């Protein structure tokens, strides 16, 4: 027997012993009892997460494992028997807000988050609720502090506890056995509109969390806390602060050289609101960072600069949070092209050499492969249609197209839009096919800039968003439209299979809307994804062919998970339409948030299907003058568009105002200025909008309803709006002069 064989033997014996211990410990207690949950979640330690691949029965960390590839080596459900996959049970969560979460699964128990930071534990076999925890977020106060819905993406689990971040910026440790709070820390400043929607991650005994808020004057950072005590271990700032003060960490001195002006007064942005991943081998944390505040670099950092570390992947030491390296996907971002999107780790053979890589499809439309040891750029190519840059050069810098920075007084229709070619919806990487499955979006955004419209001006887009975004707020600016890009006002999506080594498309399935669910892939050669129309589909991972489909009633955005209980493989998907795009669009009726769990030959009964009926346009009309309607267009863009977007599209979770009921239109004052529908999430707008402006918005809404009822074509409608907004603006300026 060689020494090597002895070592293998010892390792194998240890593995058997550990498996036995695990089996004894978890089988001692009835599944779902407090003792059972304490024992099984209690076994999730650093080694358990590092070796998550050895435990395919469970799903113990956000992306399934530290690689976050969402690849599961279970094949009880396979291409031969997928037609027998059927509903095991459903559970109505009693909410109509968006659900984005990936459940954790530990020995047959599901743990997941829902709207407004409610956390649930369910028995995966029976669908029985075991406990629920409510973080008790102040809903009225929080509603205007968040950009993109009252959502949450998931939990972390470690040594008997669960961890969740809240919309009001707290990090909470919960006892997995009982659903009661162990401790909480406020991880965002008391002042400012910071929020947490991302899942915490466990790394080296610490719980690591970022936050969001780059649309609202935030300064991004990531914090690591001791998982047992909640004590802060380190904090890494993603952008430099006021350079007249000492920098919090030395690398920020170099980062500050890439900024101009007084960016710190608006925070700078760069918030890390989703992907924060960990390589245990190198003890390195990878942080995906967000866009700048203000979006437009000319306002944020006049005269230019790369503005580190906006729209970047930053690598830091897990022990002390010190800087290792960074790679910036969008230098000097000016389009809301965040790099917070999903980061997958893989080992790929590139030009004959095995490389430890990171893969990311950030909002900017390019798919990146980067060396995760050094941060060196390996390759990139566009995975959706892109017109802001013609490609990425050999040094990893984008080659920007003329006009892309929209500084010429025109309205540039740029692809991708600020929603990105891909957003937070998790991708999956199948280690057998070698393909990455990406939920992609196809849309242009209208970007505009007027030097006379400053940061503090009320002329910016959407008052509650602080005027920090750079969408076209003046319809009469000359448009620059790219005929090859998706037409303005249209949206669509696709599920894309991408070869990361060749940087090319392998297959693509078109989808009706630009927001569809996250992805799961298995060793049985399957890809699972649900879409905006409520179709949950299993596809052949090699060809994209649909092998199985199930109607989950409402549009889905969350990714499914798969796991094993008592020798049976299950698939669970949380369904609940919402999030940013879901605020404005829908392709299925809104159903209550529901847990769907499937297995082979399940015998569950599906919930009732609500038919999809579009609400009619209001029959009310306005006799307002074109000047007044034009003033209404401007007020709508300033105060309403952040939630209600353009009217006439049908609406999503947030209603389309042209389809308001008579009761709403007759109580306009009370709703807008007195908060009559605050309980539904419509904030009291009296601190922003005047009674006069509110009336003009109503004129604009009723004009639009009339135009659409008469079948006015979209180009004529847009042209009319632009003309009316122009004369409305002229009139307002004249009136302002008279007052002076
Ligand atoms: Ca953003």
With cut-offs at 50, 70 and 90, classify the pLDDT of residue 508: very high
Q: Is 6 exposed, middle or buried (0-12, 13-18, 19+ CB in 10 A)?
A: exposed
**What is the DSSP secondary-structure string of 35-75?**
HHHHHHHHT--HHHHHTGGG-TT-B-STTSSTT---EE---
With cut-offs at 50, 70 and 90, classify the pLDDT of residue 615: confident
Angle at 213 between CA 212 and CA 216, to 5 degrees: 175
CB 26 within 8 A of CB 107: yes
Q: Which residues pair with 248 in a beta bridge?
A: none
Q: Which residues are catalytic?
A: 336
**pLDDT value for 272:** 98
- For residue 355, CA distances in Å to 307, 328, 374, 435, 701 come to 29, 20, 11, 16, 56
**Looking at residues 607-632, what average pLDDT do you find?**
94
DSSP 200: P
Structure tokens at 382: 């566009």
CB 470 within 8 A of CB 295: yes
- For residue 524, CA distances in Å to 435, 481, 568 come to 14, 44, 15
- Tell me the CA–centroid distance for residue 214 and ligand 1, in Å: 6
- Tell me the CA–centroid distance for residue 122 and ligand 1, in Å: 33
**pLDDT value for 11:** 57
| Cα 697 from Cα 633, distance rounded (Å) | 7
SS3 state of residue 658: helix
**pLDDT value for 142:** 80
**Looking at residues 294-304, what average pLDDT do you find?**
93
**Looking at residues 702-718, what average pLDDT do you find?**
91
Q: Which of 380-384, 582-586, 630-634 has the lowest mean pLDDT?
A: 582-586
User: Over the stretch 450-484, which tens digit does the pLDDT of each residue have?
Assistant: 776 544 445 555 555 556 888 888 889 999 999 99
With cut-offs at 50, 70 and 90, classify the pLDDT of residue 681: confident
Rg (CA), the chain: 26
**pLDDT value for 543:** 98
- Tell me the CA–centroid distance for residue 252 and ligand 1, in Å: 22
**pLDDT value for 644:** 82
Structure tokens at 413: 């229709």
Structure tokens at 437: 């499955």
Q: Which of 198-207, 275-284, 464-473, 495-504 has the lowest mean pLDDT?
A: 464-473
- Tell me the CA–centroid distance for residue 338 and ligand 1, in Å: 6
Task: Please say if the pLDDT value at position 546 is more than 80.
Answer: yes
Helices marked H in 360-404 — which ranges? none
User: Over the stretch 663-674, which tens digit does the pLDDT of each residue have?
Assistant: 999 999 999 999
**pLDDT value for 1:** 44
Q: Which residues pair with 323 in a beta bridge?
A: 316
**Looking at residues 430-446, what average pLDDT do you find?**
97
**Looking at residues 123-137, what average pLDDT do you find?**
97
**Looking at residues 299-316, what average pLDDT do you find?**
97
**Looking at residues 142-158, what average pLDDT do you find?**
85
| Cα 690 from Cα 670, distance rounded (Å) | 13
Task: Please say if the pLDDT value at position 550 is more than 80.
Answer: yes
- Tell me the CA–centroid distance for residue 497 and ligand 1, in Å: 26
**pLDDT value for 460:** 55
Structure tokens at 82: 């997928």
- Tell me the CA–centroid distance for residue 698 and ligand 1, in Å: 29
**pLDDT value for 5:** 58
With cut-offs at 50, 70 and 90, classify the pLDDT of residue 740: low
Nearest to 605 by CA among 621, 594, 593: 594
**Looking at residues 417-423, what average pLDDT do you find?**
96
**pLDDT value for 439:** 98
**Looking at residues 574-603, what average pLDDT do you find?**
92
**Looking at residues 517-542, what average pLDDT do you find?**
98
Q: Which of 127-136, 347-356, 550-559, 629-638 has the lowest mean pLDDT?
A: 629-638
**Looking at residues 645-659, what average pLDDT do you find?**
78
């Amino acid at each position: 027997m060689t020494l090597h064989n002895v070592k293998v033997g010892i390792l194998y014996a240890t593995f058997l012993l550990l498996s036995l211990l695990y089996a004894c410990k978890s089988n001692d207690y009835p599944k779902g009892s407090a003792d059972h949950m304490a024992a099984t979640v209690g076994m999730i330690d650093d080694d358990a997460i590092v070796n998550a691949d050895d435990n395919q029965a469970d799903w113990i960390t956000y992306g399934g494992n530290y690689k976050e590839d969402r690849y599961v080596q279970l094949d009880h459900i396979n291409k031969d028997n997928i037609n027998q996959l059927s509903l095991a049970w459903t559970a109505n969560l009693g909410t109509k807000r968006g659900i984005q979460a990936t459940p954790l699964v530990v020995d047959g128990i599901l743990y997941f988050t829902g709207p407004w930071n409610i956390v649930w534990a369910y028995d995966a076999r029976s669908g029985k609720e075991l406990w629920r925890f409510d973080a008790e977020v102040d809903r009225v106060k929080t509603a205007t502090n968040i950009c993109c819905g009252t959502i949450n993406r998931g939990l972390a689990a470690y040594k008997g506890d669960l961890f969740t971040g809240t919309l009001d910026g707290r990090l909470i440790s919960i006892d997995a056995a009982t659903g009661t709070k162990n401790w909480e820390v406020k991880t965002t400043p008391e002042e400012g509109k910071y929020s947490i929607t991302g899942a915490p991650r466990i790394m080296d005994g610490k719980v690591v969390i970022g936050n969001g808020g780059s649309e609202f004057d935030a300064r991004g950072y990531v914090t690591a806390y001791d998982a047992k005590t909640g004590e802060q271990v380190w904090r890494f700032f993603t952008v430099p602060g006021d350079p007249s003060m000492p920098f919090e960490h030395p690398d920020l001195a170099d980062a500050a050289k890439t900024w101009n002006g007084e960016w710190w007064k608006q925070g700078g942005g760069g918030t890390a609101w989703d992907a924060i991943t960990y390589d245990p081998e190198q003890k390195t944390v990878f942080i995906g960072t967000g866009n700048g505040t203000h979006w437009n670099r000319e306002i944020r950092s006049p005269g230019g600069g790369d503005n580190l570390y906006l729209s970047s992947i930053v690598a830091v030491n897990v022990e002390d949070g010190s800087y290792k390296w960074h790679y910036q996907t969008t230098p000097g971002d000016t389009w809301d092209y965040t790099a917070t999107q999903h980061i997958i780790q893989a080992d790929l053979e590139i030009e004959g050499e095995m490389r430890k890589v990171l893969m990311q499809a950030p909002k900017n439309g390019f798919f990146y492969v980067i060396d995760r040891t050094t941060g060196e750029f390996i390759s990139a190519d566009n995975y959706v249609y892109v017109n802001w840059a013609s490609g990425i050069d050999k040094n990893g810098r984008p080659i920007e197209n003329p006009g892309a920075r929209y500084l010429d007084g025109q309205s540039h229709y740029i692809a991708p839009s600020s929603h990105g070619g891909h957003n937070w919806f998790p991708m999956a990487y199948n280690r057998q096919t070698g393909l990455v499955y990406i939920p992609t979006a196809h849309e242009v955004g209208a970007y505009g800039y007027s030097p006379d419209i400053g940061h503090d001006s009320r002329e910016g887009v959407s008052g509650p968003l602080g005027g920090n975004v750079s969408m076209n707020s003046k319809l009469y600016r000359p448009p620059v439209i790219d005929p090859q890009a998706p037409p303005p006002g249209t949206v669509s999506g696709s599920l894309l299979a991408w070869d990361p080594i060749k940087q090319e498309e392998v297959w693509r399935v078109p989808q009706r809307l630009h927001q569809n669910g996250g992805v799961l892939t298995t060793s049985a050669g399957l890809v699972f994804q649900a879409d905006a129309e409520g179709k949950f589909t299993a596809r052949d991972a090699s060809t994209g062919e649909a092998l199985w489909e199930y109607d989950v009633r409402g549009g889905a955005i969350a990714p499914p998970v798969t796991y094993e209980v008592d020798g049976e493989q299950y698939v669970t998907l949380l369904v609940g339409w919402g999030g940013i795009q879901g605020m404005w669009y829908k392709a299925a009726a809104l159903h209550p948030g529901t847990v769907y769990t499937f297995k082979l030959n399940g015998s569950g009964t599906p919930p009732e299907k609500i038919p999809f009926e579009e609400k009619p346009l209001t029959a009310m009309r306005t006799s307002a003058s074109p000047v007044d309607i034009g003033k209404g267009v401007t007020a709508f863009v300033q105060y309403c568009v952040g939630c209600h977007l353009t009217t006439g599209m049908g609406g999503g979770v947030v209603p389309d105002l042209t389809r308001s009921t008579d009761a709403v239109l007759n109580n306009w004052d009370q709703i807008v200025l007195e908060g009559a529908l605050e309980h539904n999430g419509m904030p009291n707008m009296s601190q922003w909008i005047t009674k006069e402006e509110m009336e003009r918005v109503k004129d604009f809404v009723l004009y639009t309803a009339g135009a659409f009822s008469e079948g006015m074509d979209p180009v004529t409608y847009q042209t009319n709006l632009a003309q009316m907004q122009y004369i409305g603006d002229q009139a307002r300026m004249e009136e302002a002069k008279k007052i002076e």
